[in-house]
């Protein structure tokens, strides 16, 4: 595993739409391992591929530093409820703000081997999923910050 550089706000790569992963190969596994290490070393709870300069639909999440999730080509297929979340982002250092997110989401994605899975998430995990998957379409939490918190 190797630590990768985290791209910061102002870099165009954070604003691009990522493309789907088609090859579930060793390169993908290396990228996922590197993203996990980079997230841990940066003390983050999630990291999306564009944050390490890769325009691919990939994210890693760890809500508590113990449980780890990997998502390839994730899609939110169901969402319900609302929660107000205080968010920050490794690519937007020094900024935090409140964002409205669904309370529960259902995610369809693939693992590193190309095997599909479904994850039902709520609360903080649902929050992180929404934040990370937004990155894959070039959206940042600061775009969604509630008025009065900008
Ligand atoms: Ni982020």
What's the pLDDT tens digit per position in 19-72?
A: 999 999 999 999 999 999 999 999 999 999 999 999 999 999 999 989 999 999
- Alpha carbon separation from 136 to 1, 33, 36, 84, 149 (Å, rounded): 23, 18, 17, 21, 24
Q: Where are the domains of the chain?
A: 12-149
Superfamily of domain 12-149: Peptide deformylase (3.90.45.10)
pLDDT at residue 74, rounded to an integer:
98
Is 70 an active-site residue?
no
How confident is the model over 131-140, as a mean pLDDT? 98
For residue 115, report the distance from its CA to the centre of ligand 1, in Å. Answer: 25
Options 70, 87, 106, 132, the catalytic residue = 132
Query: Which pLDDT score is estimated for 149?
Result: 63
Cα 91 to ligand 1 centroid, rounded to whole Å: 6
Q: What is the pTM of this model?
A: 0.96
What's the CA-to-centroid distance between 131 and ligand 1, angstroms? Answer: 6
Could you report how far apart the first and last alpha carbons of the chain are, in Å? Answer: 37
Residue 127 CA, ligand 1 centroid: distance in Å: 11
Place of tokens 């095997």: 115
């Amino acid at each position: 595993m190797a630590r990768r550089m985290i791209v910061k706000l102002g870099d165009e790569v954070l604003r691009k739409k990522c493309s789907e992963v088609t090859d579930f190969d060793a390169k993908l596994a290396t990228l996922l391992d590197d993203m996990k290490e980079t997230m841990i070393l940066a003390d983050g709870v999630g990291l999306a591929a564009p944050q390490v300069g890769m325009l691919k639909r990939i994210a890693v999440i760890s809500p508590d530093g113990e449980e780890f999730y990997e998502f390839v080509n994730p899609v939110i297929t169901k969402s319900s409820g609302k929660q107000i979340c205080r968010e920050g982002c490794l690519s937007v250092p020094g900024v935090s703000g409140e964002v409205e997110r669904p309370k529960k989401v259902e995610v369809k994605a693939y693992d590193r081997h190309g095997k599909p899975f479904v994850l039902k998430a709520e609360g903080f995990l649902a929050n992180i999923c929404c934040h990370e998957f937004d990155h894959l379409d070039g959206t940042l939490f600061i775009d969604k910050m509630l008025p009065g918190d900008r």
